[in-house]
Amino acid sequence: MLLRPARLSASDLLRLGGTGLRARPLRAVLSALGIAIGIAAMTAVVGISASSQANLDRALAALGTNMLTVTPGQTMFGKDSYLPDESVSMIRRIGPVLSATATGSVDAHVYRTDRIPAAQTGGLAVLAAQLDLLSTVGAALAGGSWLNAATARYPAVVLGADAARRLGNPPTVYMQGRWWSVVGVLAPVPLASEINSAVLIGWQAAATYLSFDGHPTTIYTRAVEAQVEAVRGVLAPTANPQQPDEVKVSRPSDALVAQRTANATFTALLLGLGAVALLVGGIGVANTMVISVLERRAEIGLRRSLGATKGQVRTQFLTESLLLSLLGGAAGVLLGYLVTGLYSTTQSWPTVVPLWALAGGVGATVAIGAVAGLYPAIRAARLAPTEALASA
């Protein structure tokens, strides 16, 4: 008769590993919980960061990354420079520029009523705006209407989102001894936050009523996406050919991209914390398995007498450890996904958990289960059957 040990089928092995866990369900759940918390933390960190990025990307896609702004810098002697009046029309003539528009800072303060003390300016800027401002900066109206050729000549204002909130959404505002009617309110403008806290008036009205000098202080331009860098290079000399070094050019979407990079750094830090939690969970599983082997010496002896090989005993305990951590890993991935979903819903972000995070979470638990279970399983297999039976 040929003596060869029978192989255990995969389903027998799974059942065998499962019976060990079912015998002490509370212990199994608690040690799986350690793994679950670690994996949940990591999944949620990756998920929330990915969701935030998806939101930023969505915002960038909606806003476009092809906007450049031109502002006056300072002269060699440290005084504020200014942009020539014709700079906007000069910029419009650059080939790849799609549109160019400007606002000009007006030296005036705006108040809700004539009863507000003059010192309480509320930090609101008054900007003269050209009529094509909205389409170039990507702004939308929250209510009312934008200035038109007629209202741009008269005392009419459009409020930025923050300005409207700070003034309390008034029907009229008071400026330089005159009542101005509010014709519209803007929605927040992500790429030009200075507009949010501004009160916008027509170019001509600014000149007529507020002695505006007509110099643009910020020029917003949109260029063909592929030519943005080239346009950026020629903007300063075009805007102010005499003093090109007194012109500052920036790309507002760069700030959003930088924010994304900053997020990534923070995510790496949090991931490290999650990994520590996972490590502690893994140690918990190892501890549970060591205790399990010590307690179940009699079972090991019995199984050896029933004909289990050393390898089969080892595989049984290893399977048990893998199942334990997989249980934790699956629960953790699920929990992490739920946390991500919950958080991004409250932030009205899209919920994004990258596939690699899910697969990585499960893969990490398999690795942890194997490492944590290996030593206890080897100890169980090394136990001499006579010794194991004697300890009962």
Residue 59: which residues within 8 A CB-CB, separation 6 or more?
A: 190, 256
Structure tokens belonging to residue 292: 């399990």
| Termini Cα distance of the chain | 33
Which part of the chain contacts other proteins (CB under 8 A), choosing from 152-160, 167-175, 232-240, 384-392?
384-392
Among 40, 68, 277, 308, binds other proteins (CB under 8 A): 308
Facing residues of 199 across strands? Answer: 126, 159
**From CA 127, how far away is CA 185, in angstroms rounded?**
14
Radius of gyration of the chain (CA): 34
Among 149, 150, 226, 392, binds other proteins (CB under 8 A): 392
Structure tokens belonging to residue 212: 């505006």
Q: How far is the CB of 392 from other proteins (least distance, A)?
A: 5
Which part of the chain contacts other proteins (CB under 8 A), choosing from 122-130, 245-253, 297-305, 351-359?
297-305
Task: Output 275 or 291, the one with its CB closest to other proteins.
Answer: 291
Q: How many CA atoms lie within 13 A of 366 on its CB side?
A: 6
Structure tokens belonging to residue 274: 């999650």
Cα 92–Cα 93–Cα 98 angle in degrees, nearest 5: 50
Q: Which long-range contacts (CB under 8 A, 24 or more apart) does 2-10 make?
A: 5/307, 5/309, 5/312, 8/312, 8/315
- In angstroms, the Cα distances linking 23 to 26, 301, 318 are 9, 18, 16
Count of residues engaged in binding other proteins, rule: CB under 8 A: 33
Q: How far is the CB of 15 from other proteins (least distance, A)?
A: 8
Among 33, 98, 302, 330, binds other proteins (CB under 8 A): 302
Using CB under 8 A as the binding rule, the residues of this chain from 145 to 184 that contact other proteins are none
Task: Output 12 or 107, the one with its CB closest to other proteins.
Answer: 12
CB-count exposure of residue 234 (10 Å: 0-12, 13-18, 19+):
middle
Task: Output 319 or 365, the one with its CB closest to other proteins.
Answer: 319
Q: How many CA atoms lie within 13 A of 188 on its CB side?
A: 5
Task: Output 1 or 76, the one with its CB closest to other proteins.
Answer: 1
Q: Is 372 left (phi over 0), alpha (psi -120 to 50) or beta?
A: alpha
Cα 382–Cα 384–Cα 386 angle in degrees, nearest 5: 165
Residue 4 engages other proteins in binding (rule: CB under 8 A): yes
Among 62, 118, 269, 306, binds other proteins (CB under 8 A): 306
Binding mask 13-42 for other proteins (x = CB under 8 A): ---x--x--xx-------------------
Task: Output 276 or 384, the one with its CB closest to other proteins.
Answer: 384
Binding mask 309-348 for other proteins (x = CB under 8 A): xxxx------------------------------------
* Cβ atoms of 220 and 83 closer than 8 Å: no
CB-count exposure of residue 310 (10 Å: 0-12, 13-18, 19+):
middle
Q: How far is the CB of 323 from other proteins (least distance, A)?
A: 16
Among 7, 58, 165, 382, binds other proteins (CB under 8 A): 7
Residue 299 engages other proteins in binding (rule: CB under 8 A): yes
Residue 298 engages other proteins in binding (rule: CB under 8 A): yes
Q: How far is the CB of 284 from other proteins (least distance, A)?
A: 23
Q: How far is the CB of 371 from other proteins (least distance, A)?
A: 26
Task: Output 345 or 386, the one with its CB closest to other proteins.
Answer: 386
Task: Output 168 or 307, the one with its CB closest to other proteins.
Answer: 307
Which parts of this chain interact with other proteins (CB under 8 A)? 1, 3-9, 11-12, 16, 19, 22-23, 298-299, 301-312, 384-386, 389, 392
